[in-house]
Amino acid sequence: MEPTRILAIRHGETTWNVDTRLQGHLDIPLNEVGMRQAQHLAQALVQQDAIDAIYASDLSRAHTTAHAIAQALGHSVNTHPGLRERHFGAFQGRTFAEIEAELPEQAWHWRKRTPDWTPPEGGESLQMLRERIVNTVNELAARHPGEQIVMVAHGGVLDILYRAATRLELQAPRTWQLTNTAVNRLLWTPQGLSMVGWGDTSHLDALGKEETIT
């Protein structure tokens, strides 16, 4: 089977990203910067090799980002709940500082990345998240051998994809960036994911110039 090329992309910026407030499954929209990031991303992807399909989380911050790409390319967006962010349970809606202050024992497991720990009130463990994301990517990528697809998702999803492509354990410290709308290039075969390139934000250079002008 020919490999599937994947452009894995985190959604554009939200106000809660700026506030370091965990979103999880809560449906938080893009802010103005996020909308502009999505437009610059879309224009950059027009210059790429042909893109055969666009998939996105069904949460609006990812779907809106994917829709900007789809409009530029003349595609539609295929939503898949399997690409959602991790469910953070009681952490959702709280800032990092609030979690540390209000739920210190739970925050310890979060900081240590305890693989089988689940946030209270219905959260997902890292093991559960990894299983969901890997299964979803396997399902979607297997439909497109020899083609290139876009997957627009979330920071936690991109973290799992990086670890899967580099064979890093769930508890390994994160040393890579998960920048909003960065383009991350992966190859998929039935044997798994491999890394091609990570964290391309060259399309955001023009956004910075716009902000300087305005």
Q: Which residues form the catalytic set? A: 11, 85
- Residues whose CB falls within 8 Å of the CB of residue 5, separated by 6 or more in sequence, listed in order: 49, 147, 148, 149, 185, 186, 187, 196
Residues 129 and 63: their CA atoms lie apart, in Å, by 20
For the packed helices 155-166 and 126-141, what is the interaxial angle rounded to 10 degrees? 80
Six-digit token pair at 19?
Answer: 């506030």
The secondary structure of the chain in percent helix, strand, coil, rounded to multiples of 5, reads 45, 20, 40
Beta bridge partners of 54: 77, 150
Torsion on CA atoms 86, 130, 53, 4, rounded to nearest 10: 160
Phi and psi at residue 123, in whole multiples of 5°? -70, 165
Phi and psi at residue 152, in whole multiples of 5°? -105, 120
